[in-house]
């Protein structure tokens, strides 16, 4: 299978952590993508043809697997969990599934806000909207605080709900610093308790190579 990646993307990271937690990394070719800083507001003309053939959405992650090509980390994680994980990282049905999806939706809301804020920050100082940046930061902190109520439901398996939550925490720490911890001190303590997992260590965020 071929997975299009970059180490800066939290959406990619949740897929890469899922792959490592399932122990199936030897089945993948990881293809590094390159993005100019203008990606947030302009069509990137230099994307490789094989990447565009895999995903007309032109976003990472994208997975080319036997018989199916998937764009979007949710679909990819769903696929990996079903095909290679026997539903170990996300229940196939029932209350456990809906509880996990409730957590994933909030953690994903954080990641969306983080990326939109990043795209806005990459615009010139005169073009960027400080209101929009503040709105995204408020959303991040509100969702981090809300996730504290989900902690009691976290079980012994580092599943997709925990993976997505940890990735959201890790991205905020890397890109925006430790402020998120003030919004959610109990969540920060949980994050510190899982941050040394090999799957998280091996996928620590780093800047995307540019053209």
Ligand X SMILES: N[C@@H](CCC(=O)N[C@@H](CS)C(=O)NCC(=O)O)C(=O)O
Q: Compute the least distance from the CB of residue 3 to ligand X, in Å.
A: 11
- Structure tokens, 57: 């959405």
CB of 5 or CB of 20, closer to ligand X: 5
Residue of the chain from 60, 89, 147, 161 that contacts ligand X (CB under 6 A):
60
The residue with tokens 């709105």 is 135
Q: Is residue 77 a contact residue for ligand X (CB under 6 A)?
A: no
Q: Is residue 11 a contact residue for ligand X (CB under 6 A)?
A: yes
Q: Is residue 61 a contact residue for ligand X (CB under 6 A)?
A: yes
Scan residues 82-141 and list those touching ligand X (CB under 6 A).
115
**Closest CB to ligand X belongs to which residue?**
59
CA angle 204–140–5, rounded 5-degree value: 35
- Structure tokens, 27: 């089945």
Q: Is residue 9 a contact residue for ligand X (CB under 6 A)?
A: yes
Q: Is residue 72 a contact residue for ligand X (CB under 6 A)?
A: yes
Residue of the chain from 59, 117, 137, 150 that contacts ligand X (CB under 6 A):
59
Q: 3-state SS string over 48-100?
A: CHHHHHHCCCCCCCEEEECCEEEECHHHHHHHHHHHHCCCCCCCCCHHHHHHH
Q: Is residue 38 a contact residue for ligand X (CB under 6 A)?
A: no
CB of 132 or CB of 148, closer to ligand X: 132
CB of 51 or CB of 144, closer to ligand X: 51
* Cis ω for the linkage preceding 61 (within 30 of 0): yes
Q: Compute the least distance from the CB of residue 4 to ligand X, in Å.
A: 9
Residue 203, C-beta contacts closer than 8 angstroms, at least 6 positions apart: 7, 13, 16, 17, 20
Q: Which of helix, strand or coil describes residue 207?
A: coil
Q: Is residue 205 a contact residue for ligand X (CB under 6 A)?
A: no
Q: Is 67 left (phi over 0), alpha (psi -120 to 50) or beta?
A: left
The residue with tokens 């939550």 is 165
The residue with tokens 């507001």 is 41
Q: Is residue 79 a contact residue for ligand X (CB under 6 A)?
A: no
Residues in touch with ligand X (CB under 6 A):
9, 11, 39, 58-61, 72-74, 115
């Amino acid at each position: 299978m071929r997975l299009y990646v970059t180490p800066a993307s939290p959406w990619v990271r949740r897929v890469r952590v899922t792959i490592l937690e399932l122990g199936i990394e030897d089945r993948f070719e990881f293809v590094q993508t390159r993005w100019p800083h203008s990606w947030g507001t302009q069509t990137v003309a230099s994307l490789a043809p094989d990447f565009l053939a895999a995903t007309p959405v032109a976003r990472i992650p994208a997975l080319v697997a036997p018989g199916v090509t998937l764009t979007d980390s949710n679909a990819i994680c769903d696929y990996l969990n079903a095909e290679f994980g026997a539903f170990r990282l996300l229940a196939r049905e029932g209350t456990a599934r809906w509880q996990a999806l409730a957590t994933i939706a909030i953690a994903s809301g954080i990641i969306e806000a983080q990326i939109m804020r990043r795209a806005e920050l990459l615009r010139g100082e005169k073009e960027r909207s400080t209101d929009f940046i503040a709105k995204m930061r408020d959303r991040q902190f509100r969702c981090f605080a809300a996730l504290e109520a989900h902690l009691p439901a976290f079980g012994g398996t580092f599943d997709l709900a925990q993976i997505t939550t940890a990735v959201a925490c890790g991205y905020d720490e890397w890109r925006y610093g430790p402020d998120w911890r003030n919004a959610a001190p109990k969540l920060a303590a949980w994050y510190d308790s899982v941050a040394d997992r090999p799957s998280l260590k091996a996928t620590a965020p780093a800047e995307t190579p540019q053209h």
